């Protein structure tokens, strides 16, 4: 009887070892033609980008369920050099952000979502309808519920 229990337990572990990666990958696989789950954007993200001329910067972004977002930009020495906040919207394929710049007006940025899971966000900046740089961000902290 103990051999039966051992085999049953071993089989269950093996099933989970095979199924768990598929369950985690399911959001990325399900998006073909259906769009991404925008709720995955909620929370805190960090990313880093290196320009073609080898200058690197990083950012920390916070997106909440009320549609507000904040982003802090850091230079290669880790010093904050910019801060922006505004509103965001997602339709499952595109992420749009609005930044109020006072007298300069409102700036809208659009990003095509290339991959979006609970822990990874890969997106492409769109400028005048043309593809631009591709950015990669990873989940920084647990999901935020609001900035308040």
Q: Bigger pLDDT: 82 or 14?
A: 82
Task: Say what percent of the chain tops pLDDT 70.
Answer: 72
* pLDDT tens digit sequence for 47-72: 999 988 889 999 999 999 999 999 99
Q: What pLDDT, on the 0 to 100 scale, is given for residue 36?
A: 96
Residues in the chain: 148
Q: Provide the whole-model pTM.
A: 0.69
Q: Which residues contact 131 (CB under 8 A, 6 or more apart)?
A: 112, 124, 125
Residue 147 has pLDDT above 60, yes or no: no
Residue 8 has pLDDT above 80, yes or no: no
Residue 24 has pLDDT above 70, yes or no: no
Q: Bigger pLDDT: 9 or 63?
A: 63
Q: What pLDDT, on the 0 to 100 scale, is given for residue 100?
A: 81
CA-CA distance, 142 to 85, in Å (whole number)?
A: 20
Q: Do strands 106-116 and 94-100 pair parallel, antiparallel, or not at all (unpaired)?
A: antiparallel
If one looks up domain 38-141 in CATH, what number appears?
2.40.128.280
φ/ψ (deg, to 5) at 20: -55, -45
Residue 23 has pLDDT above 70, yes or no: no
Three-state SS for the chain is: CHHHHHHHHHHHHHHHHHHHHHHHHHHHHHCCCCCCCHHHHCEEEEEEEECCCCCEEEEEEEECCCCEEEEEEECCCCCEEEEEEEEEEECCCEEEEEEECHHHCEEEEEEEEEEECCCEEEEEEEECCEEEEEEEEEEEECCCCCCC
What are the residue ranges spanned by the domains of the chain? Answer: 1-30, 38-141
Q: Lowest mean pLDDT: which of 11-25, 91-105, 122-136?
A: 11-25
């Amino acid at each position: 009887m103990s051999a039966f229990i051992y085999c049953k337990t071993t089989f269950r572990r093996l099933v989970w070892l095979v199924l768990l990666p598929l369950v985690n990958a399911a959001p990325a696989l399900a998006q073909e033609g259906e769009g991404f789950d925008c709720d995955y954007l909620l929370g805190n993200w960090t990313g880093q980008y290196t320009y073609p001329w080898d200058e690197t910067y990083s950012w920390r972004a916070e997106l909440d369920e009320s549609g507000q977002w904040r982003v802090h930009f850091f230079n290669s020495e880790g010093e904050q050099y910019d801060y922006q906040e505004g509103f965001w919207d997602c339709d499952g394929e595109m992420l749009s952000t609005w930044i109020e710049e006072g007298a300069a007006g409102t700036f809208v940025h659009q990003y095509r979502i290339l991959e979006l899971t609970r822990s990874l966000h890969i997106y492409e900046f769109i400028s005048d309808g043309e593809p631009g740089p591709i950015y990669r961000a990873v989940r920084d902290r647990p999901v935020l519920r609001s900035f308040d």
